[in-house]
Amino acid sequence: MPGFDPEISKLAQRVLINPRKIDYHTGITPARDGKPVIVELTDAKTKEHKDTLEVDAALIATGRAPFTYGLGLENINVVTQRGFVPVDERMRVIDANGNLVPHLYCIGDANGKMMLAHAASAQGISVVEQVTGRDHVLNHLSVPAACFTHPEISMVGLTETDNVDHDINIEKITKTAHETHHKKPQAREKAEKEGFEISVAKTSFKANTKALAENEGEGLAKLIYRPDNGEILGVHIFGLHAADLIHEASNAVALGTRIQDIRFAVHAHPTLSEVLDELFKSAKDVSNMGMFKYFEVFPYIGGSLDYHMHWIQVKAPASTSSPISEPVAAEYQGTSFPSLAIDIDSAAKVGEEIFHVNHGCAFSVLAAVSLLVW
C-alpha cells in the first residue's frame, strides 16, 4: 500500500488478507490477453521468472495516468511531466521556462499533486478565492485520504517512514509514476533534514467501549508529532469508521492546532471519537512553554493582590518559537490600566521563556485584563 504508513499497512495485511483464503503476489508483470488469461509471476528485483498462473479472468488495477494530450498546452509553451501539468502551490500553470502562464490554473488529477476527488474540490475552491481577490494556498498535508475496506484505513499528513521498496521500480510497474511524481518527505526524513526530533503515540480500538460494543475492537490509531512544539505531523487510523474519524485530525493540521491545545477537547462518551481523544492525550513530553500574545490576569472579587518580584510562567501556542524581545518588553513598561498597573522589569529570559514581573494590583470588581505584548 504505497502512500500509507508501513505499520498500518502491515496491520491491514494481518487483519484483511492473512485470515482469508486469498493468494496474493506483489511485483509481477501484467497478464497476457487470451483464454485462459496467463499471468506471469516475475521477481520485480531480479526479473527472474517465478511461476505462471492460468485464470479465467484478470482485473488489472495498476494506477491512473493523466489524460492531458490534445489540450494544446504546446501552444503556450507548457511541457507536461509524465503527462501531469506543472503548477505552483496556487495551482497556477508553469511553462517550460519556469514562468507562470497568466490567468491559467490547473486543478485535480491532471496536476498530479493529490489524485483524490475531495482534493480536486479543495483546489478548485482555492483557485476561486484567488481569482476573486482573496489569496489562498491549500495545505495538501491537511487533506485526508481513506481506503474503504472493512475496517477502514485513513490518514492525514506524513507517514513515519517511507512505504515503498526502493529496489522496486514503481514507475515501471504501474506505468504512471504517480507514487514518485509528487513524492512527499516522510516524518523521519523531514526531521533529519530540518534538525528536530519526532515522537509517536498509539492507541488501540480495544480500549474503546463503542468499538467493543459493536464487536469491532480490531484497530489502531497512530500519531506522529514534534515533542518540542506539539506540531501534528501525521495521523493514521485502521479501524471502524476510520474514514470519518480522520477529519478531527485533518482539521487540526489545517488550522495549525497543537497537541497541547487539542488534548483538552471534550468528546462524548461512549463514541468512536474517543479513540482520537485518547490518542492526543497519550502524547508525551510535549513542551507547553512559550509566549502568549496575551498576558492574562484574573483577580479576585473584592480582593486585592500584591506581588513583588513574582515569577510568572507564560504559556503560548507552540507556533511561537521565540520569546518576547527586550525592545518589545520595554515598550510596555509602566503600562497602566484602570485599577491595574504592571511594571515589566525585564524581558523574558530566552532559555526559560518566563516573565520577571514586579507589580501591585488592587481590585474591587471582577476583571480580566489582557496585556498585548506584541
- Residue 24 grid cell: 496474493
> Which pLDDT band holds residue 183 (cuts at 50, 70, 90)?
low
User: Is residue 349 included in any domain, yes or no?
Assistant: yes
pLDDT tens readout for residues 117-130:
999 999 999 999 99
Of the candidate ranges 106-115, 163-172, 271-280, 343-352, the one whose mean pLDDT is the lowest: 343-352
Neighbours of 359 (CB within 10 A): 18
pLDDT over threshold 50, residue 170: no
Of the candidate ranges 1-15, 196-210, 291-305, 313-327, the one whose mean pLDDT is the lowest: 291-305
Q: Residues 305, 359: one domain?
A: yes
Tell me the residue range of the domain where 119 lies. Answer: 73-131
Q: Which residue has the higher pLDDT, 219 or 370?
A: 219
Determine the pLDDT at residue 2. Answer: 72
- For residues 184 and 114, the answer to whether their CB atoms sit within 8 Å is no
> Which pLDDT band holds residue 164 (cuts at 50, 70, 90)?
low
Residue among 25, 118, 136, 269 flagged as catalytic: 269
What are the CB-based long-range contacts (under 8 Å, 24+) for 342-348?
Answer: 342/297, 342/371, 347/323, 348/291, 348/314, 348/323, 348/324
User: Is residue 284 included in any domain, yes or no?
Assistant: no
Question: Cα–Cα distance between 43 and 56 in angstroms, integer?
Answer: 23
Nearest residue to 299 (alpha-carbon basis) of 258, 360, 350, 234? 360
User: Is residue 330 included in any domain, yes or no?
Assistant: yes
Question: Cα–Cα distance between 190 and 49 in angstroms, integer?
Answer: 38
The alpha carbon of residue 334 and the mean position of all alpha carbons in its chain are separated, in whole angstroms, by 43
Tally of domains within the chain: 3
* 267 part of the active site: no
Domain boundary among 92, 109, 131: 131
The pLDDT of 177-188, averaged and rounded, is 56
Q: Residues 358, 302: one domain?
A: yes
pLDDT tens readout for residues 193-216:
999 999 999 999 999 999 999 999
Question: Cα–Cα distance between 186 and 268 in angstroms, integer?
Answer: 33
| Residue 14 per-residue DSSP state | I
> What global pTM score does this model have?
0.69
Q: Which residue has the higher pLDDT, 293 or 331?
A: 331
Domain boundary among 84, 111, 131: 131
CA atoms within 13 A on the CB side of 288: 12
pLDDT tens readout for residues 66-87:
899 999 999 999 999 999 999 9
User: Is residue 17 included in any domain, yes or no?
Assistant: yes
* Termini Cα distance of the chain: 47
